Structure 1
Amino acid sequence: MSLTTLTPDLCVIGGGTGGLVVAAGAVQMGASVVLIERHRMGGDCLNTGCVPSKALIAAAGVAATMRGAGAFGIAPVEPDVDFAAVQDHVRRIIEGIAPHDSIERFERLGVQVLTAHAAFTGPDEVLAGHFRIRARRFVVATGSAPAMPPVPGLAATPHFTNETIFENRVRPEHLIVLGGGPIGVELAQAHRRLGSAVTILQKGSILPKDDPELVAVVRERLRAEGIEIRENVAVAEVARSSATGPAGDMQAGVRVVLGGAEVVTGSHLLVAAGRRAVVAGLGLDRAGVRVSTKGIETDRRLRTSNRRIFAVGDVTGRQQFTHVAAHHAGIVLRNALFRLPAKIEERAVPWVTYTDPELAHVGTTEAAIHAAGRTPTVLRFAFGENDRARTARAGEGLIKVVTDRRGRVLGASIVGEGAGELLLPWVLAVRDRARLGSIASAIVPYPTLSEASKSVAAAYYAPKLFSCATRKLVRLLARFG
């Protein structure tokens, strides 16, 4: 086989968010770029992650609104859910966004796109199909894939992951979700609202990376909607089963054996037990790139042990979010193209779980500060005290902020309607080590949910502002006319 040798400035392996942002940015800045993607452009986020899950959640939200209309004086309606049509809606959303990530768009930008498997043959060379690429710099952006827990019988039992569940066009009668992280709880609530019975099985607490006080609000809502949540359980075995369907016919299903021999049966199984970095078959050992159990090892400039090779996004084993991959891409562009020693942001990395109510977080938590032997100042403000939330009957929520003794914001967590949309000022405050006064002194439109941020910030100053000392000062000044 005759190979064609390419010598671009940059070779990007992986067409997900991180790889696409690097490729588009680099070529528009004047660099020559080869992008290699073996499967679908857009990666997990577009095809099997953020986009389809949020489209499904939106459809489920409409169904929930119809059921809950009575509180507003409107006759509630039990929605007639056409599950196949819901999945058509999901597919149309993906198709509407796909052109932005397409091969055609990137080729118009000037990127040479290769559809092939890529593997390093040495420290400065990649083989992809009929091409040998010898680039000045390489970027590995191969992302992550669902991790399969070592549960006996799982491999032989039909199951969904986030990569396959959006292809399902038949509503599950009873969906068992193995894993209570963000993916598990989001898809559990969406399917419950669309008419499925749902059971979540989690080896510890659901949403273990979030503040337990706020997780409790989400847990209560999920249970109120009819989701069975089994926490602190061990799964001993998974197997196929047969069950009697609604029409009295025998249908294939799944049985999950818990520790203690308790059995949970359902019609379908979703495995949402974490993710693993995609590194197999890349020839990273031949390139001199160190890999750990988490993923490719990098420094804060995202350089690997081979200084000509960078890695971005999920494959680095850091926070597995689309917005983190995009942030990584900007860091790599500055390092690879301009030789600037830019480093990744680690303190102010936000995340949002798109349940209803939403759960959002940035910075450190109260528990982490206590674990470090420090005592934080903790401020809380309930959504039920916000007028806009009251008008929308969305008073179920809380903002919780932790600061140091000087009022600098260390972290913030929000649970409630639109929590993700309310998080930005707290991201800026954590990043810039700002004090609460910068938010407390802002003019905020009324009535909005954003007033809750101003209110919780102002609560820090209330004890001093309305103290005995302040009252004495006011009375003293009054004597002077």
Structure 2
Amino acid sequence: MSTSPDLCIIGAGTLGVDLALYARRLGASVVLADRDRPEPGDAAQQALRMASLVQSAKRAQDMRRAPELGVGASEFKLSAKQVAERAARLVENRVRATSPEVLTAQGVTVMRGAVGFVDGRSLLVGDITIKPGKIIIAIGGAPAFPDIPGLGDIDVFSVDSIIENQRKLTHLVIIGSDAAAIEQAQLQRRLGAAVTLVPHGPLLPEFDPEAVSLLLAAFADEGISVRAGAQTVAINRRSQGIGVEIEAEGGVRETLDASHVLVSAGHKVDLDELDIAKARLKPGTNASRTIRPVGIAAGHADWNAARAHGRAEVDALLGRRRSHAVSLVPRLIETEPAIAQIGPLVPRADKARVGDTILRENLAENDRAAAMGNDRGLVKLTLDGKGQVQRASLAGPFAAELAGTVALAMSRRVGIADWADLPLPRPSLFEVFSRLGENYLAARNVSTTGQGGPALRRWLGFRPRG
């Protein structure tokens, strides 16, 4: 075992394992420092478990809506325990694929034990000192909780713990306005709970407001109460149930009778556990030329963004010029309608410039969406003066899959004019792309003759013969 590897990754959660394998594929010698405990807030495992729970809840909702599609309603039994057990099994099966034996077989050295910095170049893993060329910090973070009087007096769910719940909830009050809070609101409602969401600020402020409004309309249809503008001011423990005191805009107070409370306020990382002060980093920073935090430690709670950012940091530390475009990784809200967004976050997006164009296509006009009975949605693009997509917001069925196609087009610099000639089956959700391309060309009164051929063929991977 080398005690001077090219790279040491601290934290053997899913992100740390992914980056270790990625660095090995690049030819680096890698030590994965396993702190011999699960990394809290493992984003990938949470995302997979949530995907399973969401699909189970969707099946239940489909059965409730069956009469709308001409299918007779029938009674069905929903078992919260079986739903949770299925999600847990799915994660367990995936984790086996990255066991220490598998990692070792692929050339990753796994070291277990407490991890701490000795200085800016050395780490103590268990009782062994190593001196890696570069260090990545990929540890998890514990759930954060706001300072609300009485919150510490009750058993409260976090976004980490509620996915393990195996009981049907009666009335769940959710405190939070981020993606995890929104996803849990619809999930728990579909699993049979009454749900009240107290946002504590704007809902999904980094997503397109039009897409968010479509989701809120769906929430209203499903009976999810959203107390926009309200704040939780106190929690009162009772002999039966919980009193959640909220204050609306204008100072009006109301007490909600809850059976359970979920707080979704992000995660906090304790770098002091690593004796980070011994690394002698610049005040106010957790990074240097040889030490880089990733994932939650770098402010990336979303798994897809954390993975892209982590791989970009590996590239940089190993001296590779190629970098992963974190801004092109779709950010996804696992709801129905699902929301996906690509490009700059809305609050950070530049103001519209002269020549920029906004195109939108309503899924209510899409034949496939109408046939699915799921036509509440849109695709909205912001283009520059050359017809290149700068930002995209998608809401509706299969938003993640549609967003992947948009991200590919953006990364390959395929202009919107080329989308008009996409060879698509009909009906298809992907028709929204060809319609957007056609609308763009029509608005500019440009003939489509000869448009899009070379670029479209390059995008689709065609090569000339001969």
The TM-score, its normalising length taken from structure 1, stands at: 0.85
Letter of the 1:424 counterpart: G
- Match of residue 400 from structure 1: 380
Largest Rg, 1 or 2: 1
Describe how 1:345-424 pairs up with structure 2 within 5 A.
345-364=325-344, 371=351, 376-424=356-404
Query: Using the alignment, how far apart are the partners of 1:30 and 1:133 within structure 2?
Result: 19
Match of 1:284 among 257, 276, 279: 276
Are 1:6 and 2:3 an aligned pair?
yes
- Match of residue 50 from structure 1: 47
1:30 to partner: Cα distance: 4.2
Query: Using the alignment, how far apart are the partners of 1:57 and 1:167 within structure 2?
Result: 13
Query: Using the alignment, how far apart are the partners of 2:41 and 2:224 within structure 1?
Result: 30
Describe how 1:268-307 pairs up with structure 2 within 5 A.
268-290=260-282, 292=284, 297=286, 304-305=287-288, 307=289
SS at 1:207 equivalent: coil
What is the aligned length?
Answer: 444
Letter of the 1:428 counterpart: L
Match of 1:447 among 427, 450, 466: 427
Change in Cα spacing, 1:88 to 1:367, as seen in structure 2 (3 Å) is closer
- Match of residue 23 from structure 1: 20
Structure 1 window deviating more from structure 2 (198-207 vs 74-83): it is 74-83
Query: Using the alignment, how far apart are the partners of 1:388 and 1:133 within structure 2?
Result: 57
1:370 to partner: Cα distance: 6.8
Structure 1 window deviating more from structure 2 (377-386 vs 438-447): it is 438-447
Are 1:173 and 2:178 an aligned pair?
no
1:272 to partner: Cα distance: 0.7
Describe how 1:76-225 pairs up with structure 2 within 5 A.
76-225=73-222
Change in Cα spacing, 1:60 to 1:120, as seen in structure 2 (3 Å) is same
SS at 1:90 equivalent: helix
Query: Using the alignment, how far apart are the partners of 1:368 and 1:131 within structure 2?
Result: 45
Query: Using the alignment, how far apart are the partners of 1:136 and 1:325 within structure 2?
Result: 22
Could you list the per-position Cα deviations for residues 299-335 of structure 1 after superposition, in whole angstroms to 9, with x for gaps in the alignment?
xxxxx22x22222222112x43222222234323333
Letter of the 1:255 counterpart: V
Could you list the per-position Cα deviations for residues 185-242 of structure 1 after superposition, in whole angstroms to 9, with x for gaps in the alignment?
1111111011000010012232221111110000010111011001111221223223
Contact 1:365 1:412 in 2 (8 A): no
Change in Cα spacing, 1:456 to 1:219, as seen in structure 2 (3 Å) is same
Contact 2:205 2:347 in 1 (8 A): no
Could you list the per-position Cα deviations for residues 327-385 of structure 1 after superposition, in whole angstroms to 9, with x for gaps in the alignment?
23432333333x23444525423211010010011114777657466673111111111
SS at 2:152 equivalent: coil
Are 1:261 and 2:241 an aligned pair?
no
Letter of the 1:324 counterpart: A
Letter of the 1:45 counterpart: A
Are 1:459 and 2:459 an aligned pair?
no
- Match of residue 478 from structure 1: none
Cα root mean square deviation, aligned: 2.6
Contact 1:83 1:169 in 2 (8 A): yes
Change in Cα spacing, 1:182 to 1:107, as seen in structure 2 (3 Å) is same
Contact 1:13 1:37 in 2 (8 A): yes
Contact 1:402 1:409 in 2 (8 A): yes
Change in Cα spacing, 1:290 to 1:170, as seen in structure 2 (3 Å) is farther
Change in Cα spacing, 1:365 to 1:168, as seen in structure 2 (3 Å) is closer
Contact 2:368 2:429 in 1 (8 A): yes
Letter of the 2:290 counterpart: R
Query: Using the alignment, how far apart are the partners of 1:238 and 1:42 within structure 2?
Result: 26
Letter of the 1:274 counterpart: G
Letter of the 1:326 counterpart: R
Query: Using the alignment, how far apart are the partners of 2:241 and 2:317 within structure 1?
Result: 53
Match of 1:330 among 311, 330, 337: 311
Are 1:310 and 2:310 an aligned pair?
no
Contact 2:369 2:429 in 1 (8 A): yes
Letter of the 1:166 counterpart: I
1:401 to partner: Cα distance: 1.0
Query: Using the alignment, how far apart are the partners of 1:427 and 1:29 within structure 2?
Result: 24
Query: Using the alignment, how far apart are the partners of 1:10 and 1:369 within structure 2?
Result: 35
Contact 1:362 1:430 in 2 (8 A): no
Unaligned runs of 5+ in 2: 450-466
Aligned-pair identity in percent equals 31
Change in Cα spacing, 1:273 to 1:423, as seen in structure 2 (3 Å) is same
Change in Cα spacing, 1:409 to 1:158, as seen in structure 2 (3 Å) is same
Change in Cα spacing, 1:238 to 1:114, as seen in structure 2 (3 Å) is farther
Contact 1:42 1:98 in 2 (8 A): no
1:21 to partner: Cα distance: 2.0
Query: Using the alignment, how far apart are the partners of 2:402 and 2:321 within structure 1?
Result: 32
1:452 to partner: Cα distance: 0.9
Could you list the per-position Cα deviations for residues 268-308 of structure 1 after superposition, in whole angstroms to 9, with x for gaps in the alignment?
1111122334423222221123475xxx65xxxxxx22x22
SS at 2:118 equivalent: strand
Query: Using the alignment, how far apart are the partners of 1:46 and 1:410 within structure 2?
Result: 27
Contact 1:381 1:456 in 2 (8 A): yes
Unaligned runs of 5+ in 1: 243-250, 298-303, 471-481
1:99 to partner: Cα distance: 0.8
Change in Cα spacing, 1:214 to 1:78, as seen in structure 2 (3 Å) is farther
